Amino acid sequence: MSDILILCEHDRGSIEPSTLEALTFARGAFEGDDLHVLVCGEVDDLAPLGEYGATAVIVAEHDMLRDFSPETWGQVLAQQIDDMSPEVVLACGTSRGNEVLAQAAARLDMPFVANVNEVADDFADDDETEVTRVQWGGSLLERAGLEADTKIISVTHHAVEPVSAEGEEAPSSTFEPEIDELYARSIVIDREIAEAGVTLSTAPVVVGGGRAVGSADAFAPLEELAELLGGRVGCSRAVTNNGWRPHSDQVGQTGTRIAPELYIANGISGAIQHWVGAMASKKILAINTDPDANMVTKADYCVIGDLHDIIPAVIEEVKKRS
Ligand SMILES: Cc1cc2nc3c(=O)[nH]c(=O)nc-3n(C[C@H](O)[C@H](O)[C@H](O)COP(=O)(O)OP(=O)(O)OC[C@H]3O[C@@H](n4cnc5c(N)ncnc54)[C@H](O)[C@@H]3O)c2cc1C
C-alpha cells in the first residue's frame, strides 16, 4: 500500500472544489492506497475531505499560515514530504496548486510534472513510470517518463468532476511546522473581491458571445438570458480584443476554463484556443449562422440562424415557462 499526499487548496478556511477534484482523481488512480491530505493553516470544516476519500488529514498550524503564501505553503509541504516520504504528492493544477508544488519540488530538488490527466497503472509503486500531461491549454497531450522515488504531480484543473465517495470524516492530526521568516517575502496585504457570488468558472450556465454579437451594448440580451438562467456571461477573445467585455469574461486558453452544466455559445466559431476553455462544459448549445463552424460540429445541440433573432426568442420562451 502506498502513501499519497494531497495538498488541500483552501481560501481563508473554505475548501476549494479543486481539492475535491484532486481527491476524486487520486481515488481512481490510486485505488486502495492511503490518501493523506495536508492542510496548511485552518480550515472551517474538514468533513468534505473524508467525504471525498481522504483516509487521514494532517493540519499544519502556524501564525504564518493564516493566508495563502506559495513560499510558506511550499515550505510546509517540503517538510511533510521529507517526514513522510510518500510515493506520490498531488494537487489540483490551479495556479495556486502548481505554484506550491513547484516551491516544494525546488526545495527538495525533485522533479515535478504539471497538468497530468492520466498516470500509468504502476505509477505509485514504480520508480520509473509514465504520465500523460496536458500542454498548450489542452491542444497537445504529451506522454512523459518520470523517474523519481517521490512523484510530484498536479492534475489538470477540470479534468475530473468532483464525485463524493460518501466517506466518513477522516482522522486528523496537527503539527507545527518550522517556517523561517525568510519565507514571508510574498504575503497578502489586502484583498479586493472583484467578483462576488457566481463566477465564470463556477457558473452552472454560461452564455457566451463572440464577434458576431457586434458591440458592447449588444451583449444586453445575453446578460438578460444569463440572469434568467442563473448564469454568467462569457465571451471570446475577439470580443475582449474589441474592448466590448473585460478580460475576466474571456473563455479559453488565455482566459478562464469553464465547466458549466450548459454553455450557450452565440456567434462563436470555436477556434481551438476558445474550445480548450469550453470543452469541459457538460452540454453545449451553439447558436451560429454557419452549420460547419467548429463550435456547431462539436456542440450537443445547435440552432442555425442569426443570434440577434434567436436569443430574444429564447428569452421569451424561458420567461413564458418560468
Ligand atoms: C495565442 C492565442 C491565444 C488565444 N486565446 C484565446 C482565448 O483564450 N479565447 C478565445 O476565445 N480566443 C482565443 N484566441 C483567439 C482565437 O484563435 C479566435 O480568433 C477567437 O476565439 C475567435 O473569436 P470568435 O469565435 O468570437 O470570432 P470568429 O472566429 O470571427 O467567429 C464568429 C462566428 O460567428 C458566426 N456568426 C456570424 N454572424 C452571426 C450571427 N448573426 N449569428 C450567429 N452567428 C454568427 C460565424 O459563423 C462565426 O462562426 C487566441 C489566439 C491565439 C493566437
CA–CA gap between residue 173 and residue 38 (Å, rounded): 10
Is 200 inside any structural domain? no
Ligand 1 contact via 245 beta carbon (within 6 Å): no
Both 54 and 166 in one domain: the answer is yes
In percent, how much of the chain has pLDDT > 90?
A: 83
Residue 316 lies in a domain: yes
Q: Is 212 in the pocket of ligand 1 (CB under 6 A)?
A: yes
Q: What contacts 64, CB < 8 A, 6 or more positions away?
A: 72, 179, 183, 184
Residue 49 lies in a domain: yes
Model confidence band, residue 51 (pLDDT cutoffs 50, 70, 90): very high
Q: Residues 109, 16: one domain?
A: yes
Q: Which residue is closest in CA terms to ligand 1's atom 18?
A: 271
Going from the C-alpha of 234 to that of each of 184, 219, 237, 260, 278, the distances in angstroms are 36, 10, 10, 11, 10
Residue 192 in any domain: the answer is: no
Q: Do 177 and 211 fall into the same domain?
A: no
Q: Is residue 188 part of a domain?
A: no
Note the pLDDT of residue 253: 86
Of 131, 149, 183, the last residue of a domain is: 183
Atom nearest to 251 CA in ligand 1: 9
| 18 and 135 belong to one structural domain | yes
Residue 255: burial class (beta carbons within 10 Å; 0-12, 13-18, 19+): buried
- Judge whether 85 lies within some domain: yes
User: Do 149 and 291 lie in a common domain?
Assistant: no
Residues 171 and 49 grouped into a single domain: yes
| Domain at 229, CATH number | 3.40.50.1220
**If pLDDT is split at 50, 70 and 90, which confidence band does 284 have?**
very high
Q: Which grid cell sits at 105?
A: 519540488
Domain limits for position 28: 3-183
Residue with CA closest to ligand 1 atom 29? 269
Let me know whether 81 and 39 are in one domain. yes
> Rounded to two decimals, what is the model's pTM?
0.72
Q: Which atom of ligand 1 is nearest to the CA of 252?
A: 8
How much distance in Å is there from the Cα of 238 to the middle of ligand 1? 6
Higher pLDDT pick, 310 / 188: 310
The CB of 309 under 6 Å from ligand 1? The reply is: no
Query: How high does pLDDT run on average in the chain?
Result: 94
Pick from 140, 253, 298, 310 the residue to mutate for probing ligand 1's pocket: most ligand atoms within 8 Å of its CB. 253
Q: What is the pLDDT of residues 210-238, one digit of tens each?
A: 999 999 999 999 999 999 999 999 999 99
Residue 37 pLDDT > 70, yes or no?
A: yes
Q: Is the pLDDT score of 195 beyond 70?
A: no
For residue 266, what are the β-bridge partners?
A: 209, 287
> What is the total count of domains within the chain?
2
Assess whether 165 and 237 both reside in one domain: no
CA of 267 to the centre of ligand 1 (A): 8
**CATH number where 125 lies:** 3.40.50.620
Instruction: Give the rounded percent of residues in the chain with a pLDDT score beyond 70.
Output: 98
Residues 6+ away with beta carbon under 8 Å from 258 = 200, 201, 203, 206, 234, 251, 277, 278, 280, 281
pLDDT, position 191: 84
Question: Which of 124, 148, 183 is a domain's end point?
Answer: 183
Residue 301 has pLDDT above 90, yes or no: yes
Q: Is there a domain that residue 198 lies in? A: no
Q: Which residues contact 268 (CB under 8 A, 6 or more apart)?
A: 208, 209, 210, 211, 212, 236, 274, 286, 288, 293, 295
User: Ligand 1: does its nearest atom lie under 6 Å from the Cβ of 234?
Assistant: no
Classify residue 197: in a domain, yes or no.
Answer: no
How far does the centroid of ligand 1 lie from the alpha carbon of residue 273, in Å? Answer: 9
Query: Which of 183, 213, 245 finishes a domain?
Result: 183
pLDDT digits (tens, 9 = 90+) for 128-164: 999 999 887 667 789 999 999 999 999 998 888 899 9
Asked if residues 269 and 295 have their Cβ atoms less than 8 Å apart, the reply is: yes
**65 and 209, same domain (yes or no):** no
Both 141 and 16 in one domain: the answer is yes
| pLDDT band at residue 194 using 50, 70 and 90 as cut-offs | low
pLDDT digits (tens, 9 = 90+) for 74-125: 999 999 999 999 999 999 999 999 999 999 999 999 999 999 999 998 898 8
Q: Indicate whether 151 and 39 sit together in one domain.
A: yes
The verdict on 171 and 317 lying in the same domain is no
What ligand 1 atom has the least distance to the C-alpha of 270? Answer: 25
242 lines ligand 1 (CB under 6 A): no
Distance (Å, rounded) from C-alpha 145 to C-alpha 131? Answer: 6
Give the pLDDT score at 136.
Answer: 74
Strands 205-209 and 262-266, sheet pairing: parallel
